[in-house]
Amino acid sequence: MKRSHLSRRTLLRGTGAAVALPLLDAMIPAMTASAATAAAPSRLKRIGYIYIPMGYNPAEWTPEGETLDELPSSLSPLEEVKDHLTVISNTDLQNAYPGSHATSNSAFLSAARAKRTESSDYYNGTTVDQVAARKIGATTQLPSLELSMDLLSTVGQCDNGYACVYQNSLSWASPTQPLPSEAHPRIVFESLFGEGGTPEQRRAAMQKRASLLDSINLEIKRIKNRVGASDRNKIDGYLESIREVERRIQLAEQNSHENPLPDLDRPVGVPTAYADHAKLMFDLQLLAFQGDITRVVSFQLAREASTRTYPEIGVPDPHHPVTHHGRDPEKLAKVAKINQFHVSLFADFLKRMNEVPEGDGTLLDHSLYMYGSGMGDPDAHDHSNLPILVAGGAAENMRGNRHLRFKDPEPLSNLHLTLLNKVGVPLESFADSTGTVEDLFDPVTL
């Protein structure tokens, strides 16, 4: 039982860099009654939210029964992780009406009614991720991480009299404080591992060193000499993941220099392929969670009213016009393909999380993710029967491989309240909630 104990806050420090370590056995105090309990004292300590725009094609998304034995086409990429997944049908966002793209985005995490304004007197509601960040993010390097895929800074009016901020910002620290999201992977990487300063200063500093990890090699050796073989393997795997992210960012930056895009406002270092960019942003989330740099993430996979095209999956049409399908079978099939493509990126991320051991399970077991949209039928711009998935949560006995279909419309805020309570943020209500979703989790037995 004699061993060297490391603080959970141990950092590898080098020249202008500090790298957090994943949870190691050596961080569990020796002589504790239960190492497994010490490894994950709050069971679930991370929560993430993934937003997809412009609803879905329910015919190719909604499972027929109460289990996920046969996944419909849009959810088929989740086959390998369906035991960690619950599909939820018949939730709504009443405060998102009258239906619009702006309110779909603004209400998804706030369940609040956005003030209709084209000016800077916007008003929404504090989003659920920021409620979580105040509690479980208070002791981490970053209380929360806000990510997106679109490098946009549009202002003014964007949708039926609603200010652009409602579509640009998924997270709100208060009803009057929207949080900007970051789509540039290098800037995100440097916010996690760099020495700070402006984005320009961080990029300049990054170029001075070949790799973030080169300057902390002595620290790595020192720490590895203090821990056991299992911990050394964890450290090696985590640092190799960091190197791989670095390599991909540098490659994307090099490609951007050698093959400049006509869009001169697009920063270098962003992969030109949508899937490559999204996977990189997901990898950064995984690193941030694994290193306990943050415990709360929001990620906008695409912006409402996006005209992005997806020729790589056979949909060369702009996304937004396709969603106004008018029951056209061809357009509905294209909506389902886009849904499936977005889900495939999320599925790959869940598989990665489930491969990272932590405590008495995996990183996925000790995390919760909610994936979905604030819009149901995009042709009608409605906010009922939303496409919602919840993944992870095994440490709190979340019941996977199931389809939970509410008989009557259930406020999405009830799900938000339930997930908050499960990650250690006890509240009696959130926004327009009427209760919690008790069927989502089995009772925990100690």
Instruction: For residues 437 and 368, give the distance between their C-alpha atoms in angstroms, rounded to a whole number.
Output: 15
In this predicted structure, the answer to whether residue 1 has a pLDDT above a threshold of 50 is no
Q: What percent of the chain is modeled with pLDDT above 70?
A: 79
31 has pLDDT over 50: no
Indicate the DSSP class of residue 355. Answer: T
- Is residue 322 included in any domain, yes or no? yes
Q: Specify if 208 maps to a domain.
A: no
Residue 211 has pLDDT above 80, yes or no: no
Residue 401 belongs to domain spanning: 40-183+295-440
Q: Per-residue pLDDT for 2 more than 50?
A: no
**Of 39-48, 151-160, 186-195, which range is least confident?**
151-160
The answer on pLDDT for 406 being more than 60 is: yes
Whether the pLDDT of residue 375 is over 90: the answer is: yes
pLDDT computed for residue 204 by the predictor: 59
Please check the confidence at residue 265 and state whether its pLDDT lies above 50: no
Do 403 and 68 form a contact (C-beta atoms < 8 A)? yes
CB-based burial label for 7 (10 Å; 0-12, 13-18, 19+): exposed
Q: What is the percentage of the chain residues whose pLDDT exceeds 90? A: 61
Residue 110 structure tokens: 């706030």
Q: Evaluate whether residue 177 is within a structural domain.
A: yes
Mean pLDDT of the region 209-221: 69
Residues recorded for the chain:
446
Is 427 within the bounds of a domain? yes
Closest CA to 372 of 410, 393, 343: 343
Whether the per-residue pLDDT at 380 is higher than 70: the answer is yes
> The dihedral of CA 333, 339, 344, 350: what is its sign?
negative
- How far apart CA 202 and CA 58 sit, in angstroms, is 44
Phi, psi of 220 (to 5 degrees): -60, -45
Which range among 108-117, 224-233, 313-322, 425-434 shows the weakest confidence by mean pLDDT?
224-233
| Structural domains in the chain (count) | 1
- φ, ψ dihedrals at 51, nearest 5°: -110, 130
Residue 432 lies in a domain: yes
Please indicate whether residue 95 or residue 272 has the higher confidence score (pLDDT).
Answer: 95
Q: Is the pLDDT of residue 306 over 70?
A: yes
Residue 198's pLDDT is: 56
Average pLDDT score, the chain:
85
Least reliable range by pLDDT among 35-44, 231-240, 257-266, 423-432 = 257-266
Q: Confidence class of residue 154 from pLDDT cuts 50, 70 and 90? A: low
pLDDT surpasses 60 at 258: no
**Is 169 domain-assigned?**
yes
Q: Is residue 44 part of a domain?
A: yes
Q: What's the CATH number where 430 sits?
A: 3.40.720
Q: What is the pLDDT of residue 39?
A: 38
Q: Closest by alpha carbon to 393, among 417, 415, 421, 423?
A: 423
If you compute the radius of gyration of the chain from its CA atoms, what whole number of angstroms results? Answer: 22
- Which three-class secondary structure state does DSSP give residue 18? strand
**Is 67 inside a domain boundary?**
yes
